[in-house]
């Protein structure tokens, strides 16, 4: 059918490609001519049935479309164009002042709404203008795709700063008892950092956020201040405090007037074996400084990381804490139990105290005790809680 196919009206396409849809042949040709004269390349359609096909095959910059058409009307075409390209401008034309259609047209994102008869200059000017708007829109979209993720990151970073601030404001310490099984008594408590900021509930998330923002020291200082406040209010208790390896570089840790320094003789600083100590300048002097204040040092999570002999030699820990991966199912795995027994024996010979962490079952407890571990910590006795949870010490 000759009248259902697109009619190519070749001009030089310097001004861009226009898809013109109108069911009145004279109007179609008159507007087509005007646009061509203004330098547009024009594809003319007498109805909307093939719009999708034409859009798929031709680079179209602007769609100019009558609102009243047989079959698909202007609004249908507008919706169809939006699905195809969010930035392709559509100019709708109508003979009457159909207000509802005008409102709908705007709602669906028509760029302009023109009342017929339309002066050729106004048509060309409008098409030229919306074409530029469309180009601008697609450029900004491309820019967002290219650089927007960086911008998003920046926003997230800002958001992260706010969330870390909230986390610091709502920081508190939970305490979990460490049991001396032979006397069924509490040997010490481990202080574990907690926050009410929902997005940073897990300590590893909290520390990752602090590290990203270069605020690790702020977390460490807050922890030590909170522990000091609690120690000030209680009797002679020993508390284990986790130290981020980078905290060793915080000079306030060594200050005699720092909040926790007053209680150093009651504090064991845990340094995890999961992290590296390499790169910490003057480690030996720093450790000596801590001991001079009265702190003892524990290797945390032993068996979970890569600490070698050198690490032990450097830290000379008073205490080691066996990682809970060693504790887990120790009663069901004789090899594990043997390994724990060897480690406990070596530590005894070196006069290093051993704490087995993560004890969850009576079976694990029995296996650990049989392997020579007397200091035990885990959910079996008490979960971490407000100072100070009462442990369950029944057999």
Interface contacts to ligand G, rule CB under 6 A: 176, 192, 242, 272, 300-301, 324, 357-360, 378-379, 384
Determine the length of the chain: 395
CB of 137 to Mn ion, least distance (A): 54
Which partner in ligand G, Mn ion, none is near 358 (CB below 5 to 8 A by kind)? Answer: ligand G
Q: Which is nearer to ligand G, 62 or 243 (CB)?
A: 243
Identify the H or E element spanning 115: strand 112-115
Cα angle value 269/270/273 (rounded, 5°): 145
CA distance 332 to 378: 18
Q: Which is nearer to Mn ion, 247 or 300 (CB)?
A: 300
Residue 273 found at the interface with Mn ion (CB under 5 A): no
Q: Which is nearer to ligand G, 204 or 349 (CB)?
A: 204
CB of 328 to ligand G, least distance (A): 8
Q: Which is nearer to ligand G, 197 or 300 (CB)?
A: 300
Complete edge-to-edge strand list for the sheet that includes strand 62-66: 7-9, 41-45, 17-21, 62-66, 90-94, 112-115
CB of 384 to ligand G, least distance (A): 5
Give me 119's structure tokens.
């002066």
CB of 194 to ligand G, least distance (A): 9
CA distance 251 to 221: 11
Q: Which is nearer to ligand G, 303 or 358 (CB)?
A: 358
Give me 216's structure tokens.
């690790």
In Å, how far from its chain's centre is CA 26?
60
CB of 170 to ligand G, least distance (A): 17
Selected range binding Mn ion among 70-78, 174-182, 269-277, 366-374, rule: CB under 5 A: 269-277
CA distance 88 to 76: 15
Bridge partners (DSSP) of residue 9 are 42
Among 22, 61, 270, 273, binds Mn ion (CB under 5 A): 270
Q: Which is nearer to ligand G, 20 or 248 (CB)?
A: 248
DSSP one-letter string for 68-103: S-SSS-HHHHHHHHHHH-TT--EEEEESS--HHHHH
Q: What is the DSSP letter of 385?
A: B
Phi/psi of residue 159, each to 5°?
A: -65, -40
Q: Which is nearer to ligand G, 49 or 385 (CB)?
A: 385
Residue 300 found at the interface with Mn ion (CB under 5 A): yes
The answer to whether 192 touches 173, Cβ cutoff 8 Å, is yes
Which partner in ligand G, Mn ion, none is near 15 (CB below 5 to 8 A by kind)? Answer: none
What x/- string results for residues 219 through 258 when contact with Mn ion is judged by CB under 5 A? -----------------------x----------------
CB of 373 to ligand G, least distance (A): 14
Which partner in ligand G, Mn ion, none is near 379 (CB below 5 to 8 A by kind)? Answer: ligand G
Please report how many Cα atoms fall inside a 13 Å half-sphere around the Cα of residue 148, on the Cβ side: 7
Q: Minimal CB distance to ligand G: which residue?
A: 378
Binding interface with Mn ion (CB under 5 A): 242, 270, 300
């Amino acid at each position: 059918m000759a009248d259902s196919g697109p009619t190519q009206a070749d001009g030089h396409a310097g001004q861009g490609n226009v898809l013109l849809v109108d069911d009145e042949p004279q109007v179609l040709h008159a507007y087509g001519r005007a646009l061509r004269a203004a330098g547009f390349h024009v594809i003319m359609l007498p109805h909307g049935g093939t719009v999708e096909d034409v859009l798929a095959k031709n680079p179209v910059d602007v769609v100019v479309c009558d609102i009243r058409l047989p079959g698909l009307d202007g609004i249908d075409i507008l919706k169809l164009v939006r699905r195809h390209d969010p930035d392709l401008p559509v100019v709708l034309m109508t003979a009457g002042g159909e207000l509802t259609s005008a409102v709908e047209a705007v709602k669906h994102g028509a760029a302009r709404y023109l009342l017929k008869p339309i002066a050729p200059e106004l048509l060309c000017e409008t098409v030229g203008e919306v074409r530029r708007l469309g180009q601008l829109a697609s450029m900004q979209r491309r820019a967002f795709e290219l650089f927007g993720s960086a911008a998003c990151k920046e926003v997230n970073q800002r958001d992260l700063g706010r969330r870390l601030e909230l986390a610091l404001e709502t920081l508190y310490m939970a305490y979990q008892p460490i049991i001396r099984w032979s006397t069924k008594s509490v040997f010490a408590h481990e202080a574990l950092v907690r926050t009410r900021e929902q997005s940073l509930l897990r300590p590893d998330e909290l520390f990752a956020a602090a590290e990203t923002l270069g605020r690790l020291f702020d977390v460490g200082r807050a922890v030590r201040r909170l522990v000091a406040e609690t120690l000030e209010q209680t009797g002679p208790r020993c508390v284990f405090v986790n130290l981020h390896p980078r905290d060793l570089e915080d000079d306030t840790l060594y200050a005699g007037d720092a909040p926790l320094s007053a209680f150093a003789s009651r504090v064991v600083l845990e340094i995890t074996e999961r992290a590296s100590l390499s790169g910490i300048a003057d480690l030996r002097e720093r450790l000596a400084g801590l001991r001079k204040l009265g702190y003892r040092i524990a290797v945390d999570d032993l068996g979970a990381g890569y600490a070698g002999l050198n690490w032990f030699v450097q830290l000379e820990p008073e205490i080691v804490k066996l990682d809970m991966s060693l504790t887990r199912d120790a009663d069901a795995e004789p090899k594990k139990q043997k390994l724990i027994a060897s480690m406990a024996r070596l530590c005894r010979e070196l006069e290093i105290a051993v704490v087995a962490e993560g004890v969850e079952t009576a079976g694990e407890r029995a296996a650990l005790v049989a392997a020579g571990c007397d200091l035990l910590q885990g959910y079996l006795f008490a979960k971490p809680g407000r100072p100070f949870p009462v442990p369950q010490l029944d057999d």
